[in-house]
Amino acid sequence: MTNDEDKSSESSAQDVIVAFLGSIEPGIKRIDTHASIVFLGAERVWKIKRAVRLPFLDYSSLEKRRAACEAELDVNKSFAPDLYRRVVPITDGLDGLAVDGQGTPVEWAVEMKRFDETAGLDRIAATVGIAPALAEEVADAILASHHRSKAADGAAWLASIGTLIARNTARFREVNGLERQAVEKLHSSSLAALDAQRPCLERRAAEGFVRRCHGDLHLGNITMIDGKPVLFDAIEFDPAIATTDVLYDLSFVLMDMLHHEQRTAANVSFNRYLARSAPFHFDALALFPLFLSIRAAIRAHVLFMKAEQNDSDRQVGDEAGKYFELAVQLINPPPGGLVAVGGMSGTGKSVLARAVAPFLGPAPGAVVIRSDVVRKAMFDVPEHHRLPESAYAPRVTQRVYDALMTQAHGVASQDHCVVIDAAFLRPEERRAFAGVEPASSVHLGLFLRADLNVRLARIAGRHNDASDATATVAHMQEGHDSGNMDWPVIDAGGTPEATRAKVMPFLAPLIAQCACDP
């Protein structure tokens, strides 16, 4: 019997089991992926592996599928221990097929606790959108998973990147309707980026940032349980595929947020992860175009394959095409630059910085550096801890601005975009910003103004904020002479949306269009 005949026999035998599982409970729901079939019961979920052999996995025999189920249970217990229960046999005995019966095992399934599939982040993104607070929690969950994982030898990961690119390209060359020039451009640009970033990749591997990660963090593999995002369905079929740079793991969810038109959420998660893991990843920002693009290409690859398995589902093929377009765009990022948002306390600097950052420079948007946070870090206290008045002495403030400019240089020198959120009340502070290298990058300063009563109301309404500004500080600033103001002055006394609309024309040179834009 040939390998093709073996495969056909396995698939035919599995068809009977699939029909059985689809009828074991009234109202059971079936979900198909390229590698698995999932059955959603009232309280339990059964997931079997398809009898397939693909370029990156092999479930072609019963024993291989059993091993894959056991590996899935083992891997995902660390991500979602309350979801994953056990591996159970589908048996064939005197009374026919049964789940965990007395007969001979003819298939294996992962048994999980049933959860609300409408609570997946892909569904949330498509309905109400991913709020900034949730985006921060997602970043925290991913970072926690990376902290739990030990450093691994990075040699296999480094060697695999070129293979990933080649495998994606091979698939795209076979897809009818894809523009061949775009496929080849994606291929050559990806290889060029890999070559350019190899020293950074090698350094990070040596520093311990290659770890066993989740490996498949698209939004459909993150769900809300008890009000918290939970990662599940991590890659089990090949530990090597999931053993990568942690930023490559993060890039999957950031890319998928972009695909789902959640640019703000992507930028919030990006900044949250960087801030909570500082200072370890600020020197690796140049990796994101490559990482994000490969992740989009992999998603396109998988969905094109799924579309082939069910050629009547045109929606899957269309979705794959959108991921491909995103991959092409992400590998050719726009230039970076520097933006400074200044103004007295209560003018809305931080709100504006967060609002514009998602749209500036390379995806997933600008790095936001806030003076209040930098100052707290200098004193090794939490962001919301109030500092004594001595922490705001002129010599300390000078140190804060020196640190801001150093960090801004570090970001901009990687051709990424940075937004500095600080008062910039003194001419020398604004001159320092203008002098941040690289000189060839766009430098744009914006100075916000608002009436005292508006500023006081905003300061009074702050809760859990890094700023220590009080009404007394606001009154003192009223008499401050900011000297010759050579930045555009923006009336920020209205709504945040109105302020954002006023500054966007000034930011036009740095605003990046995205294939994810509606």
pLDDT at 410 over 70: yes
Q: Is 123 exposed, middle or buried (0-12, 13-18, 19+ CB in 10 A)?
A: middle
pLDDT at 11 over 80: no
Q: How confident is the model at residue 306 (pLDDT cuts 50, 70, 90)?
A: confident
pLDDT value of position 459 = 97
pLDDT at 238 over 90: no
pLDDT tens-digit readout, 385-406: 999 999 999 999 999 999 999 9
Average pLDDT over residues 294-317: 88
For residues 288 and 200, is the Cβ–Cβ distance under 8 A?
no
pLDDT at 356 over 60: yes
User: What is the token pair recorded at 43?
Assistant: 């309280």
pLDDT at 516 over 80: no
Average pLDDT over residues 452-465: 95
Q: Which of 10-24, 69-83, 334-348, 416-430 has the lowest mean pLDDT?
A: 10-24
* Residues paired with 506 in a beta bridge: none
pLDDT value of position 514 = 57
Average pLDDT over residues 284-298: 98
pLDDT value of position 415 = 96
All structural domains of the chain, each given as residue ranges with its CATH number in brackets, are 3-114 (no CATH), 121-330 (3.90.1200.10), 337-510 (3.40.50.300)
Residue among 358, 360, 356, 354 at smallest CA distance from 373: 354
pLDDT tens-digit readout, 165-189: 999 999 999 999 999 999 999 999 9
pLDDT at 518 over 80: no
pLDDT value of position 6 = 47
Q: How confident is the model at residue 1 (pLDDT cuts 50, 70, 90)?
A: very low
Separation CA 370–CA 336 (nearest Å): 18
pLDDT at 474 over 50: yes
CA torsion, ordered 451, 452, 455, 459, to nearest 10 deg: -170
Residue among 405, 440, 416 at smallest CA distance from 366: 416
For residues 343 and 477, is the Cβ–Cβ distance under 8 A?
no
Average pLDDT over residues 409-427: 97
pLDDT value of position 237 = 84
Angle at 316 between CA 315 and CA 322, to 5 degrees: 90
C-beta atoms surrounding 119 within 10 Å: 15
Mean pLDDT taken over the chain = 93
pLDDT at 424 over 60: yes
pLDDT at 7 over 60: no
Q: How confident is the model at residue 9 (pLDDT cuts 50, 70, 90)?
A: low
Full 3-state SS string of 238-250 = CHHHHEEEHHHHH
pLDDT at 292 over 70: yes
